[in-house]
Amino acid sequence: MPSLNSGAAYAYSMCDNCNHVVMCGMRAIVRDRIVTNVESWPGHPRGPLCAKGYALMQQLYHPKRLLHPYKRTTPKDAPDPGFARISWEEAYCLIAANLSRIRAEYGAHSVFFYCGGLKEPRPAVQRLAALYGSPNYGTESSTACMRASVFADWLTFGAPLLNRMPNADTRVMLLWGVNPAAAHHTYLPGLKAARQAGARCIVIDPRATATAALFADIHLRPRLGATAALAAGMARAALVEGWHDEAFCRAQIHGFEEYSRYVRDFTPELTESLTNVPAKDMLAAVRLYAKNRPRAFSSSAQSTTHDRNGIANHRGIGLFAALFGDIQPPRPDAPLSLPKGADLWANGGPQDFGLHKMLALGKEQRIDAKRVPAWADWAWEVNTSYLPEAIAAKEIRALVAFGLNVMIWPQSDEYAKAFGDLEFSMAVDYFHRPRSHRTLDLLLPAAVNFERRAPFGMFGRELYGRTALPPQGEAREDWRIALEIGGRLGYAEECFHGNPEAACNSILARWNLSYADLDNALAHGTGITLPPEYFQPDPPQQAVLRRSPAFATATGKIEAVSTHLEAHGLPGLPEFAPPCPTSPEYPFQLLSGTRRPHMTHSRTRQDTPWLFELDANPEVEINPVDAGRLNIKSREWVDVRSAFGALRACAHVTPEMPEGMVGMMHGWAAANANDLVPRVFDPASGYAPLKEIPVSVKPAAGPRPGNQYVSLKELP
């Protein structure tokens, strides 16, 4: 550790508090092996740190952190698992005995390996699943996060092509369902620079977001579940006016005529009635986008796919953007581009390390193979929406989970209940989360930031090591746990004898580096930049990048009619399907999970008190007109109901929400937005309608709930 005057030293890591996606560089000041301060890492490509990064210190030293392995002592249906402390030895013996028995009796596929939003542990967990022999490896990304939008792009373009952030030349940018002001603050400087250089901006978002306030010339505020209609209406407007690139469309879009015929019905009047977007604003937005170039374009990671018609929505957006001829097939002589940012981990890590080829064996035994076949045929990660059905059908007998949050799923308790029917289940986490861990057999303590070496940081060609202080209590790095379980199952050699640093070295070796080189750079507070010729993407990535001169779809063109979806008996065109209708009983559309700058999913509540202070109650955001009519005031409690569930939360009256829509963050243990959402899924992706369910909101009858919003529980 590089030392400072006064006996202190610097330690380095990367923030994991935006679900391991943004990963800003962090530098800590350490005295007597205790982190006393956290700051942005000077010179690091990601940053600056936001409140979530600073608050990580509190997570590190939280008195309720999980510090030892625990085993349940009560029957599975008991409300309290009665977790009792055990040794790592006992924990590993239990795991190895159960996993070995289950594989012998029912086959390896009957164990589901799961990683939540956390991206860092994934390569090690993939390797474990592959060695064990189960194709049933899935994550939150293959259930509720950005992978469905990648799927939609792949169906349309053969690659995740859509997001083109602005640069100095950009004249117009279209931000469709993105709010970097809250979700990706590191994009803001680029947007600001483009704006200052004169770029115009269209924002499409139902809410009055900070992004719209900062950048939008035109802001369209559609109702939920109407994306495919808005995209079709916008496409029609461009086609009718002849603003599109006809020659490009005819040459490069498969099914262009069918698509043109389909969108023809979406007149400005019909589009307005379906989407609530005034026709004249919609037409002005299309004109602004069509008449300026170069164009930049960014579409949502997930909002438009959290819908029963999500894949069609997202494909509709992509096809609108494609009409102008901006999205070209890759050139045969194009240089291999480098993975941007920390995408190496966000996309699952190196495929050879994760043993993806082995993971793909026995694909027909994936739980999504028959239930979401269009997805299973494409995604290497299994969709987990139907886990309760797969457990009831005895296709799955055990669960090995890293970072399990049942509140990502609609009707979350059905998942927790189903896990109680397993023969064996375990999770690794920073904290005991009663709502998610209630039915598990084992709970294991994960080391957190500043206590782990793996994985190292990778941002484009820049590699960064991390300093690891000794973990608190008996916590262990996720990589170590996964690799040690592998060792107990007979794969000690393949699992680097449980040593995360040795595992990292096996990855770094492709660049003739080892962790010692990263440590040498850390001594100077820096990383290592690979020379361009040194960079070798994985072979499958190379194939995608090199596949040319056509689009990497079956037809070699942009597919307005998807051959993949048609082959699976689904509509090939991005057709509009009406959202669940509101009614006098349930008059509001529920927009759940909109990111807040200082909150991350179910975390950053009591586990980071500084952040919790900023937002200490589950809030329902409601427009002043609606609130006035219902006699609801800010900070008063309201009951929210859908046909599928109910919860009580605190009102926040704000013009940010449009009339007829209410907003709520998911992940509150006692006011879980996903209790309101039914288990019906987009047949193409298997994703849930997290953003279209009708609800009612009424002043709460009875007293304000007491201190029930506790997401952590102390262990004995």
Ligand X SMILES: Nc1nc2c(c(=O)[nH]1)N[C@H]1C(S)=C(S)[C@@H](COP(=O)(O)OP(=O)(O)OC[C@H]3O[C@@H](n4cnc5c(=O)[nH]c(N)nc54)[C@H](O)[C@@H]3O)O[C@H]1N2
561 binds, among ligand X, Mo ion, none (CB under 5 to 8 A by kind): none
Rounded least distance, CB 688 to ligand X, Å:
8
582 binds, among Mo ion, ligand X, none (CB under 5 to 8 A by kind): none
In what side-by-side order are the strands of the sheet with 462-464? 457-459, 462-464, 528-529
Residue 201, φ and ψ in degrees, nearest 5: -145, 135
35 binds, among ligand X, Mo ion, none (CB under 5 to 8 A by kind): none
Residue 165, φ and ψ in degrees, nearest 5: -70, 155
425 binds, among ligand X, Mo ion, none (CB under 5 to 8 A by kind): none
Task: Identify the bridge partners of residue 30 per DSSP, sorted by sequence position.
Answer: 9, 35
Tell me the angle at which helices 279-291 and 227-241 cross, rounded to the nearest 10 degrees. Answer: 60
CB 49 within 8 A of CB 40: yes
Looking at the Cβ atoms of 449 and 505, the one nearer to ligand X is: 449
Looking at the Cβ atoms of 362 and 609, the one nearer to ligand X is: 609
Rounded least distance, CB 602 to ligand X, Å:
3
Which 3 state secondary structure label does DSSP give 667? coil
Q: Which two tokens stand for residue 235?
A: 């496409």
Looking at the Cβ atoms of 307 and 501, the one nearer to ligand X is: 307
Looking at the Cβ atoms of 64 and 184, the one nearer to Mo ion is: 184
177 binds, among ligand X, Mo ion, none (CB under 5 to 8 A by kind): ligand X
209 binds, among ligand X, Mo ion, none (CB under 5 to 8 A by kind): ligand X
Looking at the Cβ atoms of 184 and 293, the one nearer to ligand X is: 184
Looking at the Cβ atoms of 190 and 525, the one nearer to ligand X is: 190
Rounded least distance, CB 534 to ligand X, Å:
29
**Of 145, 249, 282, 693, the one binding Mo ion by CB under 5 A:** 145
Looking at the Cβ atoms of 134 and 305, the one nearer to Mo ion is: 305
> Per-residue DSSP letters for 248-311?
HHHHHEETHHHHHHHHHT--HHHHHHHH---HHHHHHHHHHHHHSSSEEEEE-SSGGGSSTTHH
Give the C-alpha separation, 697 to 587, whole Å: 8
Rg (CA), the chain: 25
26 binds, among ligand X, Mo ion, none (CB under 5 to 8 A by kind): none
Nearest by Cα to 202 from 224, 184, 220, 188? 220
Rounded least distance, CB 713 to ligand X, Å:
12
Looking at the Cβ atoms of 283 and 590, the one nearer to ligand X is: 590
Site for Mo ion in 466-485 (CB under 5 A): none
Looking at the Cβ atoms of 260 and 304, the one nearer to ligand X is: 304
Rounded least distance, CB 613 to Mo ion, Å:
24
59 binds, among ligand X, Mo ion, none (CB under 5 to 8 A by kind): none
376 binds, among Mo ion, ligand X, none (CB under 5 to 8 A by kind): none
595 binds, among Mo ion, ligand X, none (CB under 5 to 8 A by kind): ligand X
DSSP H helical segments within 598-651, as ranges? Answer: 609-614, 624-630
Give the C-alpha separation, 449 to 698, whole Å: 42
Site for Mo ion in 62-121 (CB under 5 A): none
Under the criterion CB under 5 A, does residue 599 sit at the interface with Mo ion? no
Cβ contacts of 342 within 8 Å, gap of 6 or more: 14, 21, 22, 23, 46, 119, 457, 458, 459
Rounded least distance, CB 93 to ligand X, Å:
21
Stretch that binds Mo ion, among 35-43, 106-114, 143-151, 588-596 (CB under 5 A): 143-151
Rounded least distance, CB 126 to ligand X, Å:
15
Long-range contacts for 185-194 (Cβ within 8 Å, ≥24 apart)? Answer: 185/22, 185/50, 185/597, 186/22, 186/24, 186/46, 186/47, 187/298, 190/165, 190/166, 191/165, 191/166, 191/215, 193/166, 193/168, 194/166, 194/167, 194/168, 194/170, 194/296
CA distances from 545 to 333, 478, 489 (A): 10, 32, 37
Rounded least distance, CB 141 to Mo ion, Å:
7
Give the C-alpha separation, 211 to 125, whole Å: 37
DSSP 580: P
Looking at the Cβ atoms of 329 and 618, the one nearer to ligand X is: 618
Give the C-alpha separation, 312 to 316, whole Å: 6
Applying CB under 6 A, which residues contact ligand X? 16, 18-19, 21, 116-118, 120-121, 140, 144-146, 176-179, 182-184, 204-207, 209, 222, 224, 227, 300-304, 402-403, 405, 408, 428-431, 433, 446, 478, 591-595, 597, 599-603, 666-667, 673-674, 690-691
Which 3 state secondary structure label does DSSP give 501? helix
Residue 363, φ and ψ in degrees, nearest 5: -55, -30
Rounded least distance, CB 676 to ligand X, Å:
8
Nearest by Cα to 663 from 693, 701, 635, 688? 693
Rounded least distance, CB 634 to Mo ion, Å:
28
601 binds, among Mo ion, ligand X, none (CB under 5 to 8 A by kind): ligand X
30 binds, among Mo ion, ligand X, none (CB under 5 to 8 A by kind): none
453 binds, among ligand X, Mo ion, none (CB under 5 to 8 A by kind): none
Cβ contacts of 686 within 8 Å, gap of 6 or more: 143, 368, 371, 372, 375, 383, 385, 386
Rounded least distance, CB 508 to ligand X, Å:
21
Rounded least distance, CB 624 to ligand X, Å:
18
C-alpha 661, offset from chain centre: 24
Tell me the angle at which helices 478-486 and 500-508 cross, rounded to the nearest 10 degrees. Answer: 90
Q: How many residues does the chain have?
A: 716
Which residue matches tokens 């199952």? 489
Looking at the Cβ atoms of 50 and 145, the one nearer to Mo ion is: 145
Rounded least distance, CB 53 to ligand X, Å:
11
E strand or H helix at 646, and its extent? strand 646-653
Looking at the Cβ atoms of 429 and 477, the one nearer to Mo ion is: 429
Looking at the Cβ atoms of 156 and 405, the one nearer to ligand X is: 405
Would you tell me which residues interact with Mo ion (CB under 5 A)?
Answer: 145
